Amino acid sequence: MQTLRLASDETGIAQAAKLLRQGQTVAIPTETVYGLAGDARNGAAVAAIYAAKGRPSFNPLIVHVADLTAARRIAHLPPQAMELAQAFWPGALTLVLPLRADSGIASLVTAGLDTVAIRVPAAQAAQALLRAFDGPLAAPSANASGRISPTTADHVLDPDGGLDTRIAAVLDAGPCPVGVESTIIGWHQDRATLLRPGGIPAEAIEAALGHRLDHHQADPDTPTAPGQLSSHYAPNAALRLNAETALPGETHITFGRPGPFSLSPTGDLTEAAAHLFDLLRRADREGRAIAVAPIPDHGLGTAINDRLRRAAAPRQASSSSK
Ligand code: TXA
Ligand code: MG
């Protein structure tokens, strides 16, 4: 299949919506990362997402909708979820919610769970596409399973491990401004729980709720949220963390000072998140081991450190073959 690159103008968005209506898969820009979208009501389209990514089928997908009204047609939002939706949607927050019996969502999206992950993206192109398509879009990050999430259309089409020829199109709206995936919140015994740190800092969510979040303990052997598989975000090179200086033969990703691989010369965590995945890819292409400077572990730094730990974790067999 030839993968089209569509501009995020009216024509490109209409074309993307048309392909999605036909049950095809299209990579779409969001403010966090590019997602690989398919019609969430069409089981065959959802199966095509899993196939293009080579993703294990037990891993459920995030459903993207245009607004809260569309979310409420798919899931029940208890009062705390409503508060968070009103505070952070549209934006980089995903809520894991009880699925409605009449949701119309293909069971492959939730991998048979009775909960569904929903998000209202803020990116203008994603909003325009959701309105043109007029339905829910299932979209995991648009990378092959086990690889780093894409933050540009070039990453999506990367000849080394990208999705070129495996998907119908990519809608190109330039680099993603947030650069790390959404924060995922679920509820365990009615307690709001952080399932994945991401683009909205946990501190901001705690401030909106007025209390602390429970933190999901990632157990590498039992991935309850399968994105928690430890080697989920993997470059090819070995990665060494908390490295103030590089050893001979290492590429050094720095923070708080300038350099060819600086996450943020001024030590700005928002800028660092936006640059993270592109820098990891660029450093990987140097073909040497990578050393990464320490990153403060608060605000967006929590999500950055989470992704770095996964990138540094021992590889699972499935990620090296993709
Ligand atoms: O920013 C993002 O969240 C991006 C953009 C494209 O929206 N999407 C993304 O999707 O990161 P993905 O598939 O790479 O990660 C979705 C995560 C996975 O860890 C999955 O296991 C979890 O959400 N998830 C989905 N449905 C779930 C559910 N019902 N219960 C628990 N975890 C769920
Ligand atoms: Mg992903």
pLDDT of residue 318: 43
Residue 321: the pLDDT is 34
Collapsed DSSP state (helix, strand, coil) of residue 43: helix
Residues 136, 146: Cα–Cα separation, whole Å: 25
> How many angstroms separate the alpha carbon of residue 227 from the centre of ligand 2?
7
Q: Indicate which atom in ligand 1 lies nearest the CA of residue 180.
A: 1
pLDDT exceeds cutoff 50 at 39: yes
Q: How far is the CA of 231 from the centre of ligand 1 (A)?
A: 15
Could you report the per-residue pLDDT of 214-232, keeping only the tens digit for each? 987 554 444 455 445 455 5
Residue whose C-alpha is closest to residue 202's, from 213, 192, 218: 213
Contact predicate 239/312, CB 8 Å:
yes
In this predicted structure, the answer to whether residue 46 has a pLDDT above a threshold of 90 is yes
| For range 277-305, the mean pLDDT | 96
Q: What is the mean pLDDT of residues 23-40?
A: 98
pLDDT at residue 129 is higher than 60: yes
**Mutation pick for ligand 1 pocket among 137, 184, 196 (CB with most ligand atoms within 8 Å):** 184
Bridge-based pairing of strands 137-138 and 35-39 is antiparallel
Burial category of 321 from C-beta neighbours within 10 Å (exposed 0-12, middle 13-18, buried 19 and up): exposed
Ligand 1 pocket check for 156: Cβ under 6 Å: no
Q: Are 97 and 154 in contact (CB under 8 A)?
A: no
Tokens 């949701």, residue located:
103
Report the percent of the chain where pLDDT is more than 70. Answer: 92
Neighbours of 91 (CB within 10 A): 20
Q: Residue 187: beta bridge partners?
A: 192
For 182-204, write each residue's pLDDT tens digit: 999 999 988 999 999 999 999 99
Q: What is residue 223's predicted lDDT score, i.e. its pLDDT?
A: 46
Q: Is 179 in the pocket of ligand 1 (CB under 6 A)?
A: no
The reply to whether omega before 90 is within 30° of 0 (cis) is yes
> What distance in Å separates the CA atoms of residue 140 and residue 127, rounded to the nearest whole number?
17
Q: pLDDT tens for residues 250-280?
A: 999 999 999 999 999 999 999 999 999 999 9
Q: What's the rounded Cα separation, in Å, for the pair 204 and 185?
A: 13
Beta bridge partners of 151: none
Examine the pLDDT at 322 and tell me if it is beyond 50. no
Choose one of 30, 141, 145 to mutate for the ligand 1 pocket test, by most ligand atoms within 8 angstroms of C-beta. 141
| Cα(265) to centroid(ligand 1), Å | 31
Position 58, amino acid: F
User: Could you tell me if the CB of 140 is within 6 A of ligand 1?
Assistant: yes
DSSP 185-198: EEEETTEEEEEE--
Residue 95 CA to chain centroid, in angstroms? Answer: 13
Q: Output the CA 283–ligand 1 centroid distance in Å.
A: 26
User: What is the average pLDDT value for the chain, to the nearest integer?
Assistant: 92
Distance CA 196, CA 83 (A): 19
Is any ligand 1 atom within 6 A of the Cβ of residue 183? no
Rounded to an integer, what distance in angstroms lies between the CA atom of residue 251 and that of residue 127? Answer: 38
Alpha carbon of 196 to ligand 1 centroid (Å)? 9
**C-alpha dihedral (101, 102, 104, 108), degrees to nearest 10:** 10
Residue with tokens 């470059």: 235
Atom in ligand 1 nearest the alpha carbon of residue 113: 29
Q: Between β-strands 250-253 and 214-215, what pairing exists: parallel, antiparallel or unpaired?
A: unpaired
The pTM score is 0.92
Q: Is residue 233 very low, low, confident or very high in pLDDT (cuts 50, 70, 90)?
A: low
Residues comprising the chain, all counted: 322
Please write the tens of the pLDDT for every residue from 91-112. 999 999 999 999 999 999 998 8
With beta carbons less than 8 A apart as the criterion, state whether 268 and 236 touch: no
Q: Please choose, from the candidates 157, 146, 304, the residue with its C-alpha nearest in 3D space to the C-alpha of residue 235.
A: 146
